[in-house]
């Protein structure tokens, strides 16, 4: 499926929204429709190589909230429609 992600193309560059391809969830994963998100200092640290160098381009961001759209076959404590942070 095609999604929109915040992509950093090189060290210190701006975050750019870009269309990227995302696989469907694996057996122990969930797909979340993100409703709200943020960028924190950890994303800036990765972008600027403060704690190692990510491969570029890189998709950063790990703070989000939304609604589960689907779950993998081995996920039993969450279901589609659950709100998550």
CATH, residue 71: 3.90.180.10
- Percentage of residues of the chain with pLDDT beyond 90: 60
* 46 phi, psi to nearest 5 deg: -65, -45
**pLDDT, tens digit, for every residue of 16-44?**
999 999 998 999 999 999 999 888 888 88
- Of the candidates 69, 17, 64, the residue with the CA atom closest to the CA atom of residue 36: 64
Q: Is the pTM of this model over 0.85?
A: no
- Inform me whether the pLDDT recorded for 53 exceeds 70: no
- Percentage of residues of the chain with pLDDT beyond 70: 95
> What is the tally of structural domains in the chain?
1
The residue range of the domain holding 24 is 2-84
């Amino acid at each position: 499926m095609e999604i929109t992600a915040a992509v950093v193309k090189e060290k210190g560059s701006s975050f750019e929204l870009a269309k990227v391809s995302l696989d469907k969830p694996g057996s122990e994963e969930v797909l979340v429709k993100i409703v709200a998100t943020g960028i924190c200092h950890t994303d800036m640290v990765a972008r600027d190589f403060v704690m190692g160098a990510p491969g570029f381009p890189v998709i950063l961001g790990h703070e989000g909230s939304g609604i589960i759209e689907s779950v993998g076959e081995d996920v039993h404590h969450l279901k589609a429609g659950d709100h998550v942070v």
